[in-house]
Amino acid sequence: MNIRIPLNKNTIGEAEKKALIKVFDSGYMTMGKVTKEFEKKFAKHLGVKHAIYVNSGSSANLLAFSAIQDNDKFKPKSVKNTFLKPGDEIIVPAVTWSTSIWPIAQTGAKAVFVDSDPDTLQMNVDAIKKAITKRTKAICMVHVLGNSGHINEVKEICKKKKIWLIEDTCESLGVKNKNKYLGTFGDIGTYSFYFSHHITTVEGGMIVTNNDYIANKIMSLRSHGWTRDMNNSSEYEKQFPDIDPRFLFVNVGYNLRSTDMNAAIGLVQLKKLEKFNQRRHEIGKYWNSEFQYLTKKKVIQPMKITRGAKASWFGFPIICQSQEIRDNLRTHLEKNGIETRPIICGNMTKQPGIKNIKYRISGKLSGADIIMDRGIFWGSSPDMTKSEVKYVVSVVNKFFA
Ligand SMILES: Cc1ncc(COP(=O)(O)O)c(C=O)c1O
């Protein structure tokens, strides 16, 4: 038997191909009405006011942090929040993806790392409380691997301290905590539609917010800093009547747009999101029960679901009893065709690139070290067949036999 279990499988089918070709054949391929429709349907699905489509989850994060920067001379007086100045601090978990961190440095702010719990893999709430200083302007909660961070507790902290709450939900699209979608609790939520994520547009990302000012600023930052895509563009046009409104620039922007072709794929995939997530949930639940005997013996601990959440496993992360077991299990799985990877980037502060940014570590990162040294995950793609799901169990069981 020659079975291969990749980290992710292609979920793009005939309907997506047809939708893509339709846009291609229309001759209008850049960002336009299909993107608008995708944004509208995505916002409706999650129950938020604004959704803004971009070319990756990393771009979504860059725009989220740029949107809270103190760099807009035209900000209405009615906007009362405290915006980010160089040297201000943003609290992040040590276990996260690199581009949850680099955009913080790109705004001139300092990333403050707190520990992640090896059981749920989410950022530790007590560590967050201890990391807050007068310079803290935001908490970036990263919902890790299809699970939920302790979002209600962190939302309370942000409310009390009057600081921004950004939810990097790139790994947990469609996951709910107490019946509310992750990414919609805070001021800004970000999502990734990279190939391996809960739904895909090949590359792509989305930013959601209920804040009109932030939404408009992001729409401007996404496209060169111009006003053209902003819902309140007329307010700027009135102020600068001598400038052609089609080429009126008010922000220090980027070009992080995607295309209508990618959005067309997204519209089809969005319809499949709940079905995909249910399947990921079932696969995770099944493996959890099959490996309970190993959990009882404490040789492995699969990711524990955060209270209040219904997980949609992005993969199946486990923490092994020792680094030696993890390393040997990895070799065994790979030899048997099951692709594996580390848990995200491990402890981000151990990555060499961190030397290029300003950062601070608050408290100990011993949980993050455990996740890095003893953690591993394999894929839980919604398209996995029953026999593939069972094959993983037999390979793992053989290792521990
Ligand atoms: C937590 C997190 N944030 C951001 C990103 C970046 O998303 P993208 O790959 O679409 O740029 C990822 C990607 O996997 C991620 O896991």
pLDDT tens, 13-22?
A: 999 999 999 9
Examine residue 8 and state whether it is found in any structural domain, yes or no.
no
Ligand 1 nearest atom to the CA of residue 144, by list position: 1
Residues 64 and 165 in one domain: yes
What CATH number should be reported for the domain holding residue 120? Answer: 3.40.640.10
Residues 366 and 255 in one domain: no
What integer is the mean pLDDT of 163-168?
Answer: 98
Of the residues 197, 198, 224, 281, which is catalytic?
197
Last residue of a domain, one of 265, 290, 314: 265
Examine residue 7 and state whether it is found in any structural domain, yes or no.
no
Number of domains in the chain: 2
Helix axes 260-290, 386-400, angle to 10 degrees: 50
Tell me the residue range of the domain where 352 lies: 273-400
239 CA → ligand 1 middle, Å: 38
Residues 255 and 396 in one domain: no
Ligand 1 nearest atom to the CA of residue 192, by list position: 10
- pLDDT at residue number 83: 97
Residues 248 and 277 in one domain: no
What CATH number should be reported for the domain holding residue 369? Answer: 3.90.1150.10
Residues 31 and 144 in one domain: yes
Examine residue 4 and state whether it is found in any structural domain, yes or no.
no
- pLDDT at residue number 131: 98
Examine residue 284 and state whether it is found in any structural domain, yes or no.
yes
Pocket test for ligand 1, best of 58, 148, 312 (most atoms within 8 A of CB): 58
Last residue of a domain, one of 245, 265, 285: 265
Last residue of a domain, one of 212, 246, 265: 265
Examine residue 2 and state whether it is found in any structural domain, yes or no.
no
Stretch (H or E) spanning 318: strand 315-320
Q: Does the predicted TM-score (pTM) go above 0.85?
A: yes
Per-residue confidence band for 1, with pLDDT thresholds at 50, 70 and 90: low
129 CA → ligand 1 middle, Å: 25
* Largest distance between two CA atoms of the chain: 78
Cα distance between residue 118 and residue 258, in whole Å: 36
Cα distance between residue 176 and residue 173, in whole Å: 9
| Percentage of the chain exceeding pLDDT 90 | 99
Residues 326 and 238 in one domain: no
Q: pLDDT digits over 279-309, tens only?
A: 999 999 999 999 999 999 999 999 999 999 9
- 58: Cβ below 6 Å to ligand 1? yes
98 CA → ligand 1 middle, Å: 8
197 part of the active site: yes
Residues 250 and 284 in one domain: no
373 CA → ligand 1 middle, Å: 21
Examine residue 21 and state whether it is found in any structural domain, yes or no.
yes
